[in-house]
Amino acid sequence: MNATRTATELLHLPTYRAAVGEWLTENSSRLDRWRVHHETVEQTVAEHAELVAVLYEAGWNRYGWPELSGGLGGDERHRAVLYDELVLRGLPIPEQHLPLETLAPPLLRFAPTLAATYLPRLLAGREWWGQGFSEPEAGSDLASLRSRARRDGDRYVVNGQKIWTSHGATATRLVVLLRTGTPESRHRGLGMFLIDADAPGVTVRPLALASGRNELAEIFFDDVVVPADRLIGEEDGGWAVAMYLLQWERAMFAWQCSTALLHRLGGLRDALAGAAAVPDGAAAELARRYLDVLTLRARTARTVRRLAAGETVGPEASVDKILLATAEHGVYDAIRDLRAPAMAVGLAGPAGPDPGMTGLRAEWWYSRSATILGGSAEVQRGILADRILNLPKE
pLDDT at position 154 is 97
Domain 240-388: top CATH class: mainly alpha
Q: Compute φ and ψ for 61, nearest 5 degrees.
A: -85, 5
Q: For residue range 127-156, list pLDDT tens digits in order.
A: 999 999 999 987 667 888 999 999 999 999
Give CATH for domain 129-236: 2.40.110.10
Q: For residue range 200-252, list pLDDT tens digits in order.
A: 999 999 998 887 888 899 999 999 999 999 999 999 999 999 999 988 888 89
Q: Counting Cβ atoms within 10 Å, is residue 265 exposed (0-12), middle (13-18) or buried (19+)?
A: buried
Work out the number of other CB atoms within 10 angstroms of the CB of residue 255. 26
Q: Are strands 173-179 and 202-207 parallel, antiparallel or unpaired?
A: unpaired
Q: Counting Cβ atoms within 10 Å, is residue 67 exposed (0-12), middle (13-18) or buried (19+)?
A: exposed
Work out the number of other CB atoms within 10 angstroms of the CB of residue 392. 7
3-state DSSP call for residue 45?
helix
Instruction: Return the closest-CA partner of residue 93 out of 257, 317, 293, 290.
Output: 257
pLDDT at position 356 is 65
d(CA 113, CA 283): 53
- The alpha carbon of 391 is separated from its chain's Cα centroid by a whole number of angstroms, namely 31
Q: Counting Cβ atoms within 10 Å, is residue 344 exposed (0-12), middle (13-18) or buried (19+)?
A: exposed
Angle (nearest 5°) at CA 275 between 272 and 280? 65
**Residue-by-residue pLDDT tens, the chain, 394 positions:** 454 688 889 999 999 999 999 999 999 999 999 998 888 999 999 999 999 999 999 999 999 999 999 999 999 999 999 999 999 999 999 999 988 999 999 999 999 999 999 999 999 999 999 999 999 987 667 888 999 999 999 999 999 999 999 889 999 999 999 999 998 899 999 999 999 999 999 999 999 888 788 889 999 999 999 999 999 999 999 999 999 998 888 889 999 999 999 999 999 999 999 888 899 999 999 999 999 999 999 999 999 999 999 998 888 888 999 999 999 999 999 999 998 877 776 544 444 445 567 788 888 888 888 888 777 888 889 888 888 888 987 6
d(CA 134, CA 182): 18
Instruction: Return the closest-CA partner of residue 333 out of 301, 378, 363.
Output: 363
Instruction: Return the closest-CA partner of residue 318 out of 386, 250, 368, 389.
Output: 250
Q: Give how far Cα 54 sits from Cα of 13, 29, 30, 152, 218, Å.
A: 21, 14, 10, 42, 31
Q: What CATH architecture is 7-123? A: Orthogonal Bundle (1.10)
Instruction: Return the closest-CA partner of residue 238 out of 364, 390, 131.
Output: 131
Query: How do the domains of the chain map onto residue ranges?
Result: 7-123, 129-236, 240-388
d(CA 126, CA 145): 31
pLDDT at position 377 is 85
3-state DSSP call for residue 344?
helix
Instruction: Return the closest-CA partner of residue 260 out of 209, 211, 324, 320.
Output: 324
d(CA 140, CA 373): 9
